[in-house]
Structure 1
Amino acid sequence: MTASARLSEFVVKTALHDCPRSGLAQVRRAALDTLGVMLAGAREPAARIVREVARAEGGTPVCTVVGTRLRTAPTWAALANGVAGHAHDFDDTSFALMGHPSVPLLATALACAEAEMADGRVVALAYVVGFEVSAALGAALNPGHYQRGWHATSTLGTLGCAAAAARALSLDLAQTRHALGLAASLASGLKENFGSMTKPYHAGHAARNGVLAAALAREGFTASDSALDGRQGYVAAFGEAASLGAALDGLGQRWHLVETGVAVKPYPSCALTHSPIDALIDLRRRHALRPEQIAAIEVGVNRVTPGVLIHPAPATALERKFSMQFCAAAAVVDGRVDFASFEDGDVRDPAIRALMPKVTMVGDDTLSERLEEHAWSRVTVRLTDGRVLTAPPRGATGHPDRPLSAETLREKFLACASTAIPRDEAAAIAEQLDHLEEIPDIRALTSRLVGDVE
């Protein structure tokens, strides 16, 4: 049986009750976080540009573009909502695919469910199967795939989104195989674009192409059954001596959504900056640390991090999200990293500018040996008076081992959502999402996501 056939069996035959309750709780948390960051991202330039093109080319207005009054075709809604959700880089991550799972998957599931007038169970199940397909591919291909320059949010996410769309559109086994095969040819996304608008585009790209692949397959479009594991297929092209066999063996028995989970972000920057941000804010508080006291900041990192945080001297707000130098300096100077940290095009605070050159990343073999804890870091601060302050290796706040509390997550959602819709409406959405699977018509949710963003 080909990989496409095995994945299709899982996608078509999995029922919501097959997923453990703890996994479904993760889905509800992911939905709350994701809709919040979509609403917050609706005002960002990348999201606005996509909407302008969607207005001109968007087709039948059946799906909501979150945070706006625009309605458009499912593929355009998936693209627009995916870009908005990833625009701040405030959306969740998972080591299961070394990327951002929830924005692409929920942009896909909401577009399909709204177009089909489906219920909340359809959205939840689409998310589950899409997550597990992405994670299985990640288990086969990573970390080599990611280190070679591929942005897994898009390359693995496109297959996950095709699986989610196939389930949401009720495709049969053959149609699902064709959707996955087509998605294999649509998958792309390069890490060299980190720090530009194209990075958030990747999330929308995965969602759009997942919806497109499933929609075409439903109408009879075909792809090779060996598109995933053939000699010139997806795994051979994207992987290095990778094999899908073992990664697919546990589908439906072990659940990546439960075993690996998702990390919800407390800061709107790359996840690999979060552990150092936590550590430096803590050192600042405990030692009344001032930037002028600091001679050097060394951040011990694993082998993946330098290829992600590629902007030591960032020139734009988007580049600052992928700059260890900026994020570390902002944590010390301001004692926080939030939306305001990324408002201006350049770094205007002279204290942050002066501290940035003192921040260096240092390879740490012990962190590379435990790559599954990929967001961990080791921070050393050398002071001008000769003292050395250290923070031991630890995961960031929001990591599955240190999850945000339900109340903190809700406050994050309300803060994000209220940038586009009234806070009381946001609170009502939060209540709905506590019972996602019980929503009888997903339009009862999407109608509340209409905002005043142009």
Structure 2
Amino acid sequence: SLRINKGMHVDGNWPALGAAAAVAHSLGLTPAQTAQAVQIAACQLPMSLYLPVRSGDTSRNTYLGHSAQLGQSAALAVASGITSPGNAVREYAHVVLSKEPEPFDDTHGFHLLQAYVKPYAAVRHVHYGAWAACMLRPALDPDKIEHVILDVYEEAVIYCGNRAPQTPLQAQFSLSFGLAAMLGWGRLDPWVYREPQFQDAMLRALEAKVQVQVDASWTQQQMRGARLRIECSDGSRYEQEITAVPGDAQMPFTERELVDKFLGYCEASMPLDSARLWARQLLVAPTNTHPFPFWNLPQEKTPC
């Protein structure tokens, strides 16, 4: 297993390993060939930077496409007879990351079942503070908030430490922005990233009041969570600790919550009736049904 170094962004590197395995499986390659595809991808993994997230540039959005392209190329290479050393992933950890790879999880469970659905339009690290704010918000008057302290694990600060973000991408990687949006409006969805609300004076004032601190215990235990403390001008104080958010394995989304999120995110791009139809097709249609119209178009029979 690999973990990125500070200054790196995960989307442009080892997602290619998963893509290589997926394409190899789709091609009907053997398990040994699938492992070879992963190693071929590991021989040439790129170094993707966190820099565009800090600057607010959208080049970060090209990272996953690059990873998918590399994974596909690696699988097709194996199918054509190209070989790879069997220890490329470990060598990548040594040469590029200057560390030993973490022990590989060889249990027989499906990691896909550990995937989560994000309720909010932000990086997962932002969700814990935002959910804590959501829990406290009914008792709060945003105009009376004077001090806000957010304790989180170190990884959240590394990847989501942007302050006073000026672009939506910066804001999606901002602990303080997500927290302020939830305190101010009770929502953290695409709407908050649009003008005029994105530069709203109330939102910006709340964001500036947020002090972010690292919880050493959570960091050491590799736990995710948030502890939110708020002091108001009338002397009232509020505190909420969160160690799981909706969408986590221990707090799975209900079907109703999933549909509501899908419909909400579609509202700016398609009529509500069309969005409902798509949702119904995705959730309950027979497995041989093509939910999206463009998938029904004739396709050439290519390997991928």
Structure 1 residue 150: Cα displacement:
3.1
Report the counterpart of residue 119 of structure 2 in structure 1: 266
Report the counterpart of residue 388 of structure 1 in structure 2: 237
Structure 1 residue 355: Cα displacement:
1.8
AA partner of residue 169 (structure 1):
L
Structure 1 residue 239: Cα displacement:
4.4
Partner deviation per Cα, 1:102-156 (whole Å, 9 max, x = no partner): xxxxxxxxxxxxxxxxxxxxxxxxxxxxxxxxxxx3xxx3xxx234333333322
Report the counterpart of residue 112 of structure 2 in structure 1: 257
Secondary structure of the residue that 1:344 maps to in structure 2?
Answer: coil
The alpha-carbon distance between structure 1 residues 292 and 249, as it changes in their structure 2 partners (threshold 3 A), is closer
AA partner of residue 308 (structure 1):
Y
Secondary structure of the residue that 1:228 maps to in structure 2?
Answer: helix
Q: In 2, are the aligned partners of 1:425 and 1:448 still within 8 Å (CA)?
A: no
Q: In 2, are the aligned partners of 1:302 and 1:364 still within 8 Å (CA)?
A: yes
47, 52, 55: which is aligned to 1:188?
A: 47
AA partner of residue 416 (structure 1):
Y
Report the counterpart of residue 447 of structure 1 in structure 2: 293
Structure 1 residue 428: Cα displacement:
4.3
Secondary structure of the residue that 2:246 maps to in structure 1?
Answer: coil
415, 428, 443: which is aligned to 2:264?
A: 415
Partner deviation per Cα, 1:198-257 (whole Å, 9 max, x = no partner): 33222222222212222233233443333223xxx223234454246x41543xx23333
Q: In 1, are the aligned partners of 2:21 and 2:35 still within 8 Å (CA)?
A: no
Structure 1 residue 337: Cα displacement:
1.4
Give aligned-pair identity as a percent. 27
AA partner of residue 191 (structure 1):
Y
The alpha-carbon distance between structure 1 residues 385 and 423, as it changes in their structure 2 partners (threshold 3 A), is closer
91, 97, 104: which is aligned to 1:247?
A: 104
What is the TM-score with the length of structure 1 in the denominator?
Answer: 0.58
194, 202, 209: which is aligned to 2:70?
A: 209
Task: Say yes or no: does 1:148 pair with 2:6.
Answer: yes
Report the counterpart of residue 302 of structure 2 in structure 1: none
Task: Say yes or no: does 1:160 pair with 2:25.
Answer: no
CA distance in 2, matches of 1:358, 1:388: 15
Q: How many residue pairs were aligned? A: 293
AA partner of residue 188 (structure 1):
M
Q: In 2, are the aligned partners of 1:264 and 1:398 still within 8 Å (CA)?
A: yes
CA distance in 2, matches of 1:236, 1:337: 39
Task: Structure 1: give runs of 5+ residues left out of the alignment.
Answer: 1-136
Report the counterpart of residue 404 of structure 1 in structure 2: 253
Q: In 2, are the aligned partners of 1:277 and 1:327 still within 8 Å (CA)?
A: yes
Partner deviation per Cα, 1:170-213 (whole Å, 9 max, x = no partner): 23456434422331113432223324313322222222221222
What is the TM-score with the length of structure 2 in the denominator?
Answer: 0.84
Aligned-residue RMSD, C-alpha = 2.7
The alpha-carbon distance between structure 1 residues 165 and 188, as it changes in their structure 2 partners (threshold 3 A), is farther
Report the counterpart of residue 118 of structure 1 in structure 2: none
Q: In 2, are the aligned partners of 1:317 and 1:346 still within 8 Å (CA)?
A: no
* Structure having greater relative contact order (Cα 8 Å, sep ≥ 6): 1
Q: In 1, are the aligned partners of 2:263 and 2:272 still within 8 Å (CA)?
A: yes
CA distance in 2, matches of 1:369, 1:423: 46
